[in-house]
Structure 1
Amino acid sequence: MNELARLERRRRIINGWLLLSPALIFLSLFAFIPSVATLWESLFSRGTRRNPSEFIGGGNYADLFADPTFWLVVKNNLLYAGVTIPVSIVIALSMALWANSKISARGFVRTAYFTPTVLPMIAAANLWLFFYTPGLGVLDQIGALFGFTSVNWLGQPETALWAIVIVTIWKESGFFMIFYLAALQTIPPDLKEAADIEGASRWTYTRRVVLPLLAPTTLFVMVNALINSVKLIDHLFILTKGGPSDASKLILYYIWEMAFAYFDAPHAAAMTVLVLVVLGIVAAVQFTLLDRRTHYR
Protein backbone atom coordinates (compact mmCIF):
# COMPACT_ATOMS: atom_id res chain seq x y z
CA MET A 1 0.00 0.00 0.00
CA ASN A 2 2.81 2.37 0.86
CA GLU A 3 4.49 1.56 -2.43
CA LEU A 4 1.31 2.37 -4.37
CA ALA A 5 0.92 5.65 -2.48
CA ARG A 6 4.54 6.53 -3.21
CA LEU A 7 4.08 5.79 -6.92
CA GLU A 8 0.89 7.86 -7.02
CA ARG A 9 2.63 10.77 -5.30
CA ARG A 10 5.55 10.54 -7.73
CA ARG A 11 3.13 10.44 -10.68
CA ARG A 12 1.40 13.61 -9.44
CA ILE A 13 4.73 15.38 -8.98
CA ILE A 14 5.81 14.46 -12.52
CA ASN A 15 2.46 15.58 -13.95
CA GLY A 16 2.72 18.83 -12.06
CA TRP A 17 6.18 19.58 -13.40
CA LEU A 18 5.07 18.67 -16.92
CA LEU A 19 2.21 21.15 -16.65
CA LEU A 20 4.55 23.84 -15.34
CA SER A 21 7.38 23.17 -17.77
CA PRO A 22 6.07 25.27 -20.73
CA ALA A 23 5.66 28.33 -18.52
CA LEU A 24 9.00 27.73 -16.82
CA ILE A 25 10.78 27.35 -20.16
CA PHE A 26 9.34 30.56 -21.60
CA LEU A 27 9.86 32.51 -18.38
CA SER A 28 13.44 31.28 -18.18
CA LEU A 29 14.20 32.16 -21.80
CA PHE A 30 12.49 35.54 -21.88
CA ALA A 31 12.47 36.74 -18.25
CA PHE A 32 14.79 35.04 -15.77
CA ILE A 33 17.88 34.50 -17.91
CA PRO A 34 17.74 37.98 -19.55
CA SER A 35 17.25 39.56 -16.11
CA VAL A 36 20.30 37.79 -14.68
CA ALA A 37 22.33 38.67 -17.79
CA THR A 38 21.27 42.32 -17.50
CA LEU A 39 22.25 42.41 -13.84
CA TRP A 40 25.63 40.88 -14.66
CA GLU A 41 26.25 43.35 -17.50
CA SER A 42 25.41 46.29 -15.26
CA LEU A 43 28.38 45.42 -13.07
CA PHE A 44 30.93 45.98 -15.84
CA SER A 45 32.30 49.11 -17.46
CA ARG A 46 31.71 50.10 -21.06
CA GLY A 47 34.23 48.28 -23.22
CA THR A 48 36.03 49.38 -26.36
CA ARG A 49 38.58 47.71 -28.61
CA ARG A 50 41.48 49.29 -26.77
CA ASN A 51 39.95 49.15 -23.30
CA PRO A 52 38.00 45.95 -22.62
CA SER A 53 35.20 46.12 -20.08
CA GLU A 54 36.17 45.60 -16.45
CA PHE A 55 34.24 44.63 -13.36
CA ILE A 56 33.36 47.84 -11.49
CA GLY A 57 30.59 46.65 -9.18
CA GLY A 58 28.14 49.43 -8.50
CA GLY A 59 30.01 52.06 -10.48
CA ASN A 60 27.34 52.31 -13.16
CA TYR A 61 24.66 52.80 -10.52
CA ALA A 62 26.70 55.54 -8.88
CA ASP A 63 27.04 57.26 -12.26
CA LEU A 64 23.29 57.15 -12.72
CA PHE A 65 22.56 58.61 -9.29
CA ALA A 66 24.98 61.44 -10.06
CA ASP A 67 23.45 62.13 -13.46
CA PRO A 68 20.93 65.03 -13.43
CA THR A 69 19.33 63.75 -16.65
CA PHE A 70 18.54 60.47 -14.94
CA TRP A 71 16.71 62.25 -12.11
CA LEU A 72 14.85 64.42 -14.61
CA VAL A 73 13.70 61.30 -16.44
CA VAL A 74 12.63 59.71 -13.14
CA LYS A 75 10.67 62.84 -12.27
CA ASN A 76 9.01 62.81 -15.70
CA ASN A 77 8.06 59.15 -15.33
CA LEU A 78 6.66 59.65 -11.84
CA LEU A 79 4.52 62.53 -13.06
CA TYR A 80 3.51 60.55 -16.13
CA ALA A 81 2.48 57.52 -14.05
CA GLY A 82 0.88 59.62 -11.30
CA VAL A 83 -1.47 61.24 -13.81
CA THR A 84 -2.13 58.54 -16.40
CA ILE A 85 -2.86 55.69 -13.95
CA PRO A 86 -5.66 57.25 -11.83
CA VAL A 87 -7.17 59.28 -14.67
CA SER A 88 -7.26 56.28 -17.02
CA ILE A 89 -8.87 54.13 -14.33
CA VAL A 90 -11.53 56.72 -13.50
CA ILE A 91 -12.38 57.32 -17.16
CA ALA A 92 -12.42 53.58 -17.91
CA LEU A 93 -14.75 52.91 -14.98
CA SER A 94 -17.07 55.75 -16.01
CA MET A 95 -17.19 54.51 -19.60
CA ALA A 96 -17.87 50.94 -18.45
CA LEU A 97 -20.72 52.02 -16.18
CA TRP A 98 -22.33 53.95 -19.01
CA ALA A 99 -21.70 51.28 -21.66
CA ASN A 100 -23.21 48.65 -19.34
CA SER A 101 -26.39 50.63 -18.70
CA LYS A 102 -29.57 50.29 -20.73
CA ILE A 103 -28.96 52.92 -23.40
CA SER A 104 -29.73 53.00 -27.09
CA ALA A 105 -26.93 52.04 -29.48
CA ARG A 106 -25.04 50.38 -26.64
CA GLY A 107 -22.99 48.29 -29.05
CA PHE A 108 -21.90 51.38 -30.95
CA VAL A 109 -20.87 53.11 -27.72
CA ARG A 110 -18.75 50.16 -26.66
CA THR A 111 -17.12 49.94 -30.08
CA ALA A 112 -16.38 53.67 -30.09
CA TYR A 113 -14.75 53.47 -26.66
CA PHE A 114 -12.65 50.46 -27.60
CA THR A 115 -11.55 51.73 -31.04
CA PRO A 116 -8.45 53.67 -29.81
CA THR A 117 -7.14 50.48 -28.22
CA VAL A 118 -7.20 48.65 -31.55
CA LEU A 119 -5.06 51.27 -33.25
CA PRO A 120 -1.29 50.60 -33.18
CA MET A 121 0.55 53.09 -31.00
CA ILE A 122 2.51 54.44 -33.98
CA ALA A 123 -0.72 55.10 -35.88
CA ALA A 124 -2.28 56.73 -32.84
CA ALA A 125 0.79 58.94 -32.38
CA ASN A 126 0.61 60.07 -36.00
CA LEU A 127 -3.07 60.84 -35.55
CA TRP A 128 -2.33 63.00 -32.51
CA LEU A 129 0.55 64.61 -34.35
CA PHE A 130 -2.10 65.98 -36.69
CA PHE A 131 -3.91 67.39 -33.64
CA TYR A 132 -0.79 68.96 -32.11
CA THR A 133 0.85 70.48 -35.22
CA PRO A 134 1.29 74.24 -34.59
CA GLY A 135 -0.90 76.43 -36.77
CA LEU A 136 -2.27 73.53 -38.83
CA GLY A 137 -3.38 71.10 -36.12
CA VAL A 138 -6.97 70.57 -35.03
CA LEU A 139 -6.35 72.03 -31.58
CA ASP A 140 -4.94 75.26 -32.97
CA GLN A 141 -7.70 75.47 -35.55
CA ILE A 142 -10.32 75.21 -32.82
CA GLY A 143 -8.43 77.64 -30.61
CA ALA A 144 -8.24 80.17 -33.45
CA LEU A 145 -12.05 80.25 -33.56
CA PHE A 146 -12.02 81.59 -30.00
CA GLY A 147 -9.13 83.99 -30.55
CA PHE A 148 -6.37 81.90 -28.99
CA THR A 149 -2.85 82.08 -30.38
CA SER A 150 -1.03 79.09 -31.85
CA VAL A 151 0.66 76.79 -29.33
CA ASN A 152 3.56 74.45 -30.05
CA TRP A 153 2.22 71.68 -27.82
CA LEU A 154 5.08 69.27 -28.49
CA GLY A 155 7.86 71.83 -28.88
CA GLN A 156 7.94 73.56 -25.52
CA PRO A 157 8.93 71.98 -22.18
CA GLU A 158 5.83 73.23 -20.37
CA THR A 159 3.36 71.28 -22.51
CA ALA A 160 5.28 68.41 -24.15
CA LEU A 161 4.89 65.87 -21.34
CA TRP A 162 1.23 66.78 -20.80
CA ALA A 163 0.59 66.23 -24.50
CA ILE A 164 2.07 62.73 -24.15
CA VAL A 165 -0.07 62.10 -21.07
CA ILE A 166 -3.26 62.96 -22.98
CA VAL A 167 -2.36 60.54 -25.79
CA THR A 168 -1.74 57.74 -23.28
CA ILE A 169 -5.00 58.31 -21.42
CA TRP A 170 -6.93 58.37 -24.70
CA LYS A 171 -5.25 55.12 -25.78
CA GLU A 172 -5.52 53.16 -22.51
CA SER A 173 -8.93 54.09 -21.15
CA GLY A 174 -10.80 51.97 -23.69
CA PHE A 175 -8.56 48.99 -22.98
CA PHE A 176 -9.19 49.15 -19.24
CA MET A 177 -12.91 49.67 -19.87
CA ILE A 178 -13.15 46.15 -21.27
CA PHE A 179 -12.05 44.64 -17.95
CA TYR A 180 -14.52 46.75 -16.00
CA LEU A 181 -17.30 45.95 -18.46
CA ALA A 182 -16.65 42.22 -18.10
CA ALA A 183 -16.63 42.53 -14.31
CA LEU A 184 -19.88 44.52 -14.29
CA GLN A 185 -21.62 41.79 -16.24
CA THR A 186 -20.74 39.24 -13.55
CA ILE A 187 -22.55 41.18 -10.80
CA PRO A 188 -25.84 39.37 -10.01
CA PRO A 189 -28.91 41.43 -10.98
CA ASP A 190 -30.51 40.38 -7.69
CA LEU A 191 -28.32 42.91 -5.90
CA LYS A 192 -29.76 45.76 -7.98
CA GLU A 193 -33.29 44.53 -7.33
CA ALA A 194 -32.62 44.34 -3.61
CA ALA A 195 -31.16 47.85 -3.62
CA ASP A 196 -34.24 49.15 -5.46
CA ILE A 197 -36.54 47.51 -2.92
CA GLU A 198 -34.58 49.15 -0.09
CA GLY A 199 -34.94 52.52 -1.82
CA ALA A 200 -31.21 52.99 -2.49
CA SER A 201 -30.31 55.57 -5.08
CA ARG A 202 -28.18 54.77 -8.11
CA TRP A 203 -25.19 56.53 -6.55
CA THR A 204 -25.61 54.62 -3.27
CA TYR A 205 -25.87 51.31 -5.12
CA THR A 206 -22.77 52.13 -7.16
CA ARG A 207 -20.74 53.26 -4.16
CA ARG A 208 -21.85 50.58 -1.70
CA VAL A 209 -22.23 47.56 -3.98
CA VAL A 210 -20.67 47.98 -7.41
CA LEU A 211 -17.36 49.62 -6.53
CA PRO A 212 -16.48 47.12 -3.75
CA LEU A 213 -17.27 44.21 -6.07
CA LEU A 214 -15.06 45.79 -8.73
CA ALA A 215 -12.11 46.12 -6.35
CA PRO A 216 -10.28 42.99 -7.66
CA THR A 217 -10.64 44.31 -11.21
CA THR A 218 -9.37 47.71 -10.11
CA LEU A 219 -6.29 46.07 -8.58
CA PHE A 220 -5.66 44.14 -11.80
CA VAL A 221 -6.08 47.27 -13.92
CA MET A 222 -3.83 49.24 -11.57
CA VAL A 223 -1.02 46.72 -11.94
CA ASN A 224 -1.36 46.75 -15.73
CA ALA A 225 -1.44 50.54 -15.79
CA LEU A 226 1.70 50.65 -13.67
CA ILE A 227 3.51 48.32 -16.06
CA ASN A 228 2.31 50.33 -19.05
CA SER A 229 3.56 53.55 -17.48
CA VAL A 230 7.15 52.34 -17.88
CA LYS A 231 6.85 50.46 -21.17
CA LEU A 232 4.73 52.62 -23.48
CA ILE A 233 7.34 54.56 -25.45
CA ASP A 234 6.25 54.04 -29.06
CA HIS A 235 4.54 57.42 -29.25
CA LEU A 236 7.66 59.21 -28.02
CA PHE A 237 9.52 58.25 -31.22
CA ILE A 238 6.84 59.94 -33.31
CA LEU A 239 5.80 62.90 -31.15
CA THR A 240 8.77 64.31 -29.23
CA LYS A 241 11.75 61.89 -29.15
CA GLY A 242 12.05 62.81 -25.49
CA GLY A 243 12.39 66.55 -26.13
CA PRO A 244 12.48 69.42 -25.91
CA SER A 245 15.39 69.52 -23.44
CA ASP A 246 14.44 66.05 -22.13
CA ALA A 247 11.12 67.46 -20.89
CA SER A 248 9.13 64.46 -22.14
CA LYS A 249 11.78 61.77 -21.89
CA LEU A 250 10.66 58.67 -19.96
CA ILE A 251 12.75 55.95 -18.37
CA LEU A 252 12.31 53.25 -21.02
CA TYR A 253 13.06 55.68 -23.84
CA TYR A 254 16.16 56.77 -21.94
CA ILE A 255 17.22 53.13 -21.63
CA TRP A 256 16.76 52.63 -25.37
CA GLU A 257 18.64 55.84 -26.10
CA MET A 258 21.49 54.89 -23.81
CA ALA A 259 21.81 51.39 -25.29
CA PHE A 260 21.24 51.98 -29.01
CA ALA A 261 21.99 55.68 -29.58
CA TYR A 262 24.95 56.13 -27.23
CA PHE A 263 25.97 52.42 -27.30
CA ASP A 264 26.37 52.46 -23.52
CA ALA A 265 24.92 49.06 -22.67
CA PRO A 266 26.22 48.85 -19.05
CA HIS A 267 24.44 52.04 -17.96
CA ALA A 268 21.32 50.95 -19.84
CA ALA A 269 21.49 47.60 -18.05
CA ALA A 270 21.84 49.37 -14.70
CA MET A 271 18.74 51.46 -15.42
CA THR A 272 16.86 48.31 -16.43
CA VAL A 273 17.78 46.61 -13.16
CA LEU A 274 16.57 49.63 -11.19
CA VAL A 275 13.26 49.57 -13.06
CA LEU A 276 12.83 45.85 -12.37
CA VAL A 277 13.58 46.32 -8.68
CA VAL A 278 11.14 49.23 -8.31
CA LEU A 279 8.38 47.41 -10.20
CA GLY A 280 8.97 44.29 -8.11
CA ILE A 281 8.69 46.25 -4.86
CA VAL A 282 5.56 48.07 -5.96
CA ALA A 283 3.94 44.85 -7.18
CA ALA A 284 4.79 43.12 -3.89
CA VAL A 285 3.18 45.95 -1.93
CA GLN A 286 0.11 45.89 -4.14
CA PHE A 287 -0.39 42.14 -3.89
CA THR A 288 0.25 41.95 -0.13
CA LEU A 289 -1.52 45.03 1.21
CA LEU A 290 -4.07 45.98 -1.45
CA ASP A 291 -4.93 42.41 -2.45
CA ARG A 292 -5.76 41.54 1.16
CA ARG A 293 -8.10 44.50 1.44
CA THR A 294 -9.53 43.91 -2.00
CA HIS A 295 -10.65 40.36 -1.30
CA TYR A 296 -11.71 41.08 2.29
CA ARG A 297 -9.37 38.58 3.94
Structure 2
Amino acid sequence: MLIHNADRRMQIYGALLLLPAAVLLGTFAYLPTVSTLVNSLFLPGFRGSPPEFVGLENYALLIEDRTFWRVARNNLVYALGTIPTSIALALGMALFVNARLPGRGFVRMAYFTPTILPMIAAANIWMFFYAPQIGLFNKILGTLGLSGVNWLGDPSVALGSVIVMTIWKEAGFFMIFYLAALQSIPPELKEASDLEGTGRWSFFWRVTFPLLMPTTLFVLINALINAVRVVDHLFILTKGGPNNATNLLLYYVYENAFSFFDRTYAATITVVILLVLAVVATVKFTILDRRTHYQ
Protein backbone atom coordinates (compact mmCIF):
# COMPACT_ATOMS: atom_id res chain seq x y z
CA MET A 1 0.00 0.00 0.00
CA LEU A 2 2.86 2.36 0.88
CA ILE A 3 4.58 1.56 -2.43
CA HIS A 4 1.34 2.25 -4.30
CA ASN A 5 0.94 5.65 -2.57
CA ALA A 6 4.57 6.52 -3.30
CA ASP A 7 4.05 5.73 -6.99
CA ARG A 8 0.91 7.84 -6.99
CA ARG A 9 2.75 10.79 -5.43
CA MET A 10 5.54 10.50 -7.99
CA GLN A 11 3.00 10.51 -10.82
CA ILE A 12 1.30 13.62 -9.40
CA TYR A 13 4.70 15.26 -8.89
CA GLY A 14 5.69 14.52 -12.49
CA ALA A 15 2.36 15.83 -13.79
CA LEU A 16 2.78 19.06 -11.83
CA LEU A 17 6.27 19.52 -13.28
CA LEU A 18 4.88 19.09 -16.80
CA LEU A 19 1.85 21.31 -16.18
CA PRO A 20 3.46 24.72 -16.96
CA ALA A 21 4.89 23.44 -20.26
CA ALA A 22 1.58 21.76 -21.12
CA VAL A 23 -0.35 24.97 -20.43
CA LEU A 24 2.00 27.04 -22.57
CA LEU A 25 1.95 24.46 -25.39
CA GLY A 26 -1.81 24.21 -25.33
CA THR A 27 -2.31 27.98 -25.15
CA PHE A 28 0.15 29.01 -27.85
CA ALA A 29 0.20 25.94 -30.14
CA TYR A 30 -2.83 23.64 -29.95
CA LEU A 31 -5.51 26.23 -29.17
CA PRO A 32 -4.50 28.58 -32.06
CA THR A 33 -4.36 25.58 -34.40
CA VAL A 34 -7.90 24.50 -33.50
CA SER A 35 -9.12 28.12 -33.71
CA THR A 36 -7.55 28.51 -37.16
CA LEU A 37 -9.18 25.29 -38.35
CA VAL A 38 -12.58 26.48 -37.13
CA ASN A 39 -12.17 29.93 -38.70
CA SER A 40 -11.34 28.35 -42.07
CA LEU A 41 -14.90 26.99 -42.19
CA PHE A 42 -16.52 30.45 -42.11
CA LEU A 43 -16.84 33.50 -44.31
CA PRO A 44 -16.10 36.85 -42.65
CA GLY A 45 -19.01 38.94 -41.49
CA PHE A 46 -19.48 42.45 -42.86
CA ARG A 47 -20.86 45.57 -41.17
CA GLY A 48 -21.17 43.86 -37.81
CA SER A 49 -22.89 40.70 -39.09
CA PRO A 50 -21.64 37.41 -37.64
CA PRO A 51 -19.41 35.10 -39.73
CA GLU A 52 -21.29 32.69 -41.97
CA PHE A 53 -20.56 28.97 -41.81
CA VAL A 54 -19.70 27.69 -45.29
CA GLY A 55 -17.95 24.39 -44.58
CA LEU A 56 -15.26 23.59 -47.13
CA GLU A 57 -16.14 26.44 -49.51
CA ASN A 58 -12.95 28.33 -48.63
CA TYR A 59 -10.90 25.29 -49.56
CA ALA A 60 -12.71 25.05 -52.89
CA LEU A 61 -11.89 28.72 -53.52
CA LEU A 62 -8.29 28.03 -52.59
CA ILE A 63 -8.01 25.29 -55.20
CA GLU A 64 -9.21 27.74 -57.88
CA ASP A 65 -6.96 30.58 -56.68
CA ARG A 66 -4.24 31.05 -59.31
CA THR A 67 -2.31 33.43 -57.07
CA PHE A 68 -2.15 30.79 -54.34
CA TRP A 69 -0.70 28.22 -56.73
CA ARG A 70 1.87 30.70 -57.98
CA VAL A 71 2.82 31.53 -54.40
CA ALA A 72 3.03 27.82 -53.58
CA ARG A 73 5.30 27.26 -56.59
CA ASN A 74 7.46 30.18 -55.47
CA ASN A 75 7.72 28.66 -52.01
CA LEU A 76 8.71 25.29 -53.47
CA VAL A 77 11.46 26.92 -55.52
CA TYR A 78 12.52 28.92 -52.48
CA ALA A 79 12.71 25.78 -50.32
CA LEU A 80 14.63 23.81 -52.95
CA GLY A 81 17.02 26.71 -53.36
CA THR A 82 17.66 27.43 -49.68
CA ILE A 83 17.43 24.12 -47.79
CA PRO A 84 20.01 21.91 -49.58
CA THR A 85 22.43 24.78 -50.18
CA SER A 86 22.25 26.11 -46.62
CA ILE A 87 22.78 22.65 -45.13
CA ALA A 88 25.65 21.75 -47.46
CA LEU A 89 27.32 25.10 -46.86
CA ALA A 90 26.81 24.80 -43.10
CA LEU A 91 28.38 21.33 -43.07
CA GLY A 92 31.32 22.52 -45.15
CA MET A 93 31.90 25.50 -42.86
CA ALA A 94 31.66 23.30 -39.77
CA LEU A 95 34.24 20.88 -41.16
CA PHE A 96 36.52 23.81 -42.00
CA VAL A 97 36.36 25.56 -38.61
CA ASN A 98 36.56 22.24 -36.74
CA ALA A 99 40.05 21.67 -38.18
CA ARG A 100 43.18 23.18 -36.70
CA LEU A 101 43.74 26.48 -38.46
CA PRO A 102 45.11 29.90 -37.45
CA GLY A 103 42.47 32.29 -36.15
CA ARG A 104 39.87 29.55 -35.85
CA GLY A 105 37.83 31.49 -33.29
CA PHE A 106 37.72 34.56 -35.52
CA VAL A 107 36.58 32.47 -38.51
CA ARG A 108 33.82 30.87 -36.43
CA MET A 109 32.66 34.30 -35.29
CA ALA A 110 32.66 35.57 -38.88
CA TYR A 111 30.55 32.64 -40.06
CA PHE A 112 28.09 33.02 -37.20
CA THR A 113 27.75 36.83 -37.30
CA PRO A 114 24.91 36.92 -39.93
CA THR A 115 22.85 34.71 -37.64
CA ILE A 116 22.79 37.18 -34.75
CA LEU A 117 21.63 40.04 -36.97
CA PRO A 118 17.89 40.73 -36.81
CA MET A 119 16.23 39.80 -40.08
CA ILE A 120 15.05 43.37 -40.59
CA ALA A 121 18.61 44.65 -40.25
CA ALA A 122 19.95 41.95 -42.57
CA ALA A 123 17.28 42.79 -45.16
CA ASN A 124 18.23 46.48 -45.04
CA ILE A 125 21.90 45.58 -45.56
CA TRP A 126 21.03 43.48 -48.59
CA MET A 127 18.72 46.21 -49.84
CA PHE A 128 21.87 48.33 -50.19
CA PHE A 129 23.65 45.47 -51.97
CA TYR A 130 20.76 45.07 -54.43
CA ALA A 131 20.00 48.77 -55.07
CA PRO A 132 19.87 49.35 -58.87
CA GLN A 133 21.96 52.53 -59.07
CA ILE A 134 24.20 52.62 -55.98
CA GLY A 135 24.12 48.97 -54.96
CA LEU A 136 27.36 47.12 -54.25
CA PHE A 137 26.67 44.31 -56.72
CA ASN A 138 25.93 46.65 -59.62
CA LYS A 139 29.00 48.71 -58.75
CA ILE A 140 31.10 45.55 -59.04
CA LEU A 141 29.45 44.69 -62.35
CA GLY A 142 30.15 48.22 -63.56
CA THR A 143 33.86 47.93 -62.81
CA LEU A 144 33.89 44.75 -64.92
CA GLY A 145 32.24 46.56 -67.81
CA LEU A 146 28.89 44.80 -67.38
CA SER A 147 25.47 46.37 -67.20
CA GLY A 148 23.65 46.44 -63.88
CA VAL A 149 20.79 44.17 -62.89
CA ASN A 150 17.53 45.15 -61.23
CA TRP A 151 17.96 42.44 -58.61
CA LEU A 152 14.66 42.97 -56.80
CA GLY A 153 12.62 44.49 -59.64
CA ASP A 154 13.19 41.90 -62.36
CA PRO A 155 10.77 38.94 -61.92
CA SER A 156 13.33 36.54 -63.38
CA VAL A 157 15.97 37.23 -60.73
CA ALA A 158 14.05 38.64 -57.74
CA LEU A 159 13.30 35.30 -56.10
CA GLY A 160 16.88 34.14 -56.63
CA SER A 161 18.09 37.32 -54.92
CA VAL A 162 15.94 36.57 -51.88
CA ILE A 163 17.24 32.98 -51.85
CA VAL A 164 20.86 34.16 -51.81
CA MET A 165 20.19 36.44 -48.84
CA THR A 166 18.46 33.63 -46.94
CA ILE A 167 21.37 31.23 -47.49
CA TRP A 168 23.77 33.89 -46.20
CA LYS A 169 21.58 34.32 -43.10
CA GLU A 170 20.91 30.67 -42.25
CA ALA A 171 24.13 28.79 -43.07
CA GLY A 172 25.98 30.09 -40.02
CA PHE A 173 23.10 29.11 -37.73
CA PHE A 174 23.08 25.54 -39.01
CA MET A 175 26.88 25.44 -38.82
CA ILE A 176 26.74 25.70 -35.02
CA PHE A 177 24.77 22.46 -34.74
CA TYR A 178 27.10 20.62 -37.09
CA LEU A 179 30.15 21.95 -35.26
CA ALA A 180 28.78 20.73 -31.93
CA ALA A 181 28.04 17.32 -33.46
CA LEU A 182 31.53 17.06 -34.98
CA GLN A 183 33.13 17.82 -31.63
CA SER A 184 31.11 15.03 -30.01
CA ILE A 185 32.51 12.34 -32.37
CA PRO A 186 35.15 10.28 -30.51
CA PRO A 187 38.65 11.06 -31.83
CA GLU A 188 39.51 7.37 -31.52
CA LEU A 189 37.53 6.72 -34.68
CA LYS A 190 39.80 9.02 -36.68
CA GLU A 191 42.90 7.50 -35.13
CA ALA A 192 41.72 3.99 -36.01
CA SER A 193 40.96 5.02 -39.59
CA ASP A 194 44.43 6.55 -39.93
CA LEU A 195 45.97 3.29 -38.78
CA GLU A 196 43.91 1.45 -41.38
CA GLY A 197 44.99 3.89 -44.08
CA THR A 198 41.44 5.10 -44.77
CA GLY A 199 41.22 8.16 -47.00
CA ARG A 200 39.70 11.42 -45.85
CA TRP A 201 36.61 11.16 -48.08
CA SER A 202 36.02 7.52 -47.22
CA PHE A 203 36.17 8.36 -43.52
CA PHE A 204 33.73 11.24 -44.02
CA TRP A 205 31.13 9.26 -45.97
CA ARG A 206 31.43 6.02 -43.97
CA VAL A 207 31.91 7.39 -40.45
CA THR A 208 31.43 11.13 -40.02
CA PHE A 209 28.34 11.70 -42.14
CA PRO A 210 26.37 8.73 -40.70
CA LEU A 211 27.15 9.97 -37.17
CA LEU A 212 25.86 13.42 -38.18
CA MET A 213 22.48 12.11 -39.33
CA PRO A 214 20.62 13.07 -36.10
CA THR A 215 21.89 16.63 -36.55
CA THR A 216 21.02 16.57 -40.24
CA LEU A 217 17.48 15.45 -39.43
CA PHE A 218 17.11 18.24 -36.88
CA VAL A 219 18.52 20.85 -39.27
CA LEU A 220 16.30 19.64 -42.12
CA ILE A 221 13.14 20.12 -40.07
CA ASN A 222 14.24 23.58 -38.96
CA ALA A 223 15.21 24.55 -42.50
CA LEU A 224 11.81 23.40 -43.76
CA ILE A 225 10.01 25.49 -41.15
CA ASN A 226 12.21 28.49 -41.95
CA ALA A 227 11.43 28.11 -45.65
CA VAL A 228 7.72 28.49 -44.93
CA ARG A 229 7.69 31.19 -42.25
CA VAL A 230 9.23 33.95 -44.38
CA VAL A 231 7.59 37.33 -43.84
CA ASP A 232 9.92 39.97 -42.43
CA HIS A 233 12.60 40.27 -45.09
CA LEU A 234 10.00 40.05 -47.87
CA PHE A 235 8.26 42.99 -46.23
CA ILE A 236 11.51 44.99 -46.43
CA LEU A 237 12.87 43.82 -49.78
CA THR A 238 10.03 43.20 -52.22
CA LYS A 239 6.61 43.05 -50.51
CA GLY A 240 5.97 39.96 -52.60
CA GLY A 241 6.62 41.70 -55.91
CA PRO A 242 7.18 42.28 -58.66
CA ASN A 243 3.87 40.78 -59.77
CA ASN A 244 3.98 38.13 -57.00
CA ALA A 245 7.37 36.88 -58.23
CA THR A 246 8.69 36.70 -54.65
CA ASN A 247 5.42 36.20 -52.80
CA LEU A 248 5.62 33.22 -50.43
CA LEU A 249 2.98 31.37 -48.46
CA LEU A 250 3.20 33.04 -45.07
CA TYR A 251 3.46 36.48 -46.64
CA TYR A 252 0.35 35.62 -48.68
CA VAL A 253 -1.37 34.74 -45.41
CA TYR A 254 -0.28 38.12 -44.02
CA GLU A 255 -1.64 39.92 -47.09
CA ASN A 256 -5.02 38.23 -46.87
CA ALA A 257 -5.35 38.75 -43.13
CA PHE A 258 -4.08 42.32 -42.72
CA SER A 259 -4.19 43.92 -46.18
CA PHE A 260 -7.34 42.36 -47.66
CA PHE A 261 -8.96 41.77 -44.20
CA ASP A 262 -10.07 38.27 -45.22
CA ARG A 263 -8.95 36.41 -42.12
CA THR A 264 -11.02 33.31 -42.78
CA TYR A 265 -9.28 32.80 -46.12
CA ALA A 266 -5.95 33.44 -44.41
CA ALA A 267 -6.90 30.75 -41.88
CA THR A 268 -7.65 28.37 -44.76
CA ILE A 269 -4.19 28.89 -46.24
CA THR A 270 -2.65 28.41 -42.79
CA VAL A 271 -4.40 25.07 -42.32
CA VAL A 272 -3.08 23.87 -45.68
CA ILE A 273 0.44 24.96 -44.73
CA LEU A 274 0.23 23.09 -41.42
CA LEU A 275 -1.00 19.93 -43.15
CA VAL A 276 1.81 20.06 -45.72
CA LEU A 277 4.42 20.61 -43.01
CA ALA A 278 3.04 17.72 -40.98
CA VAL A 279 3.14 15.36 -43.96
CA VAL A 280 6.67 16.37 -44.99
CA ALA A 281 7.96 16.13 -41.42
CA THR A 282 6.40 12.69 -41.02
CA VAL A 283 8.00 11.46 -44.24
CA LYS A 284 11.36 12.87 -43.18
CA PHE A 285 11.25 11.22 -39.79
CA THR A 286 10.09 7.93 -41.31
CA ILE A 287 12.76 7.77 -44.03
CA LEU A 288 15.71 9.42 -42.30
CA ASP A 289 15.21 7.61 -38.99
CA ARG A 290 16.16 4.39 -40.75
CA ARG A 291 19.52 5.92 -41.67
CA THR A 292 20.04 7.72 -38.36
CA HIS A 293 22.47 6.50 -35.74
CA TYR A 294 21.69 7.77 -32.24
CA GLN A 295 24.53 7.57 -29.77
Deviation at 1:18, TM superposition (A): 1.2
Amino acid of the residue matched to residue 80 of structure 2? Answer: G
> Hey, what's the Cα distance between the residues in 1 that align with 2:49 and 2:83?
44
Correspondence for 1:180: 178
Instruction: Give 1:1-297 correspondences, 5 Å limit.
Output: 3-49=1-47, 51-295=49-293
Deviation at 1:255, TM superposition (A): 0.2
> Hey, what's the Cα distance between the residues in 1 that align with 2:73 and 2:79?
10
Identity value in percent:
58
8 Å contact 2:228–2:248 — kept in the other structure?
Answer: yes
> Hey, what's the Cα distance between the residues in 1 that align with 2:29 and 2:275?
14
CA RMSD across the alignment: 1.3
> Hey, what's the Cα distance between the residues in 1 that align with 2:294 and 2:119?
37
8 Å contact 2:230–2:248 — kept in the other structure?
Answer: no
8 Å contact 2:141–2:147 — kept in the other structure?
Answer: yes
8 Å contact 2:214–2:294 — kept in the other structure?
Answer: no
Q: Mean alpha-carbon deviation: is it higher for 112-121 or for 6-15?
A: 6-15
Deviation at 1:296, TM superposition (A): 7.4
Which runs of 5 or more structure 2 residues have no equivalent in the other structure?
A: none
Structure 2 residue matching 1:157: 3-state secondary structure: coil
TM-score, normalised relative to structure 1: 0.97
The one-character-per-residue Cα deviations of 1:109-140 (angstroms, maximum 9, x if unpaired) are 00000000011000000100111001211110
- Do the aligned partners of residues 105 and 133 (structure 1) sit closer, same or farther apart at CA in structure 2, a change above 3 Å counting? same
Which runs of 5 or more structure 1 residues have no equivalent in the other structure?
A: none
> Hey, what's the Cα distance between the residues in 2 that align with 1:93 and 1:296?
19
Q: Which runs of 4+ in 1 moved over 4 A?
A: none
Structure 1 residue matching 2:42: 3-state secondary structure: coil
The one-character-per-residue Cα deviations of 1:216-261 (angstroms, maximum 9, x if unpaired) are 1000000000010011321101110000000000000000010000
Structure 1 residue matching 2:153: 3-state secondary structure: coil
Aligned length: 295
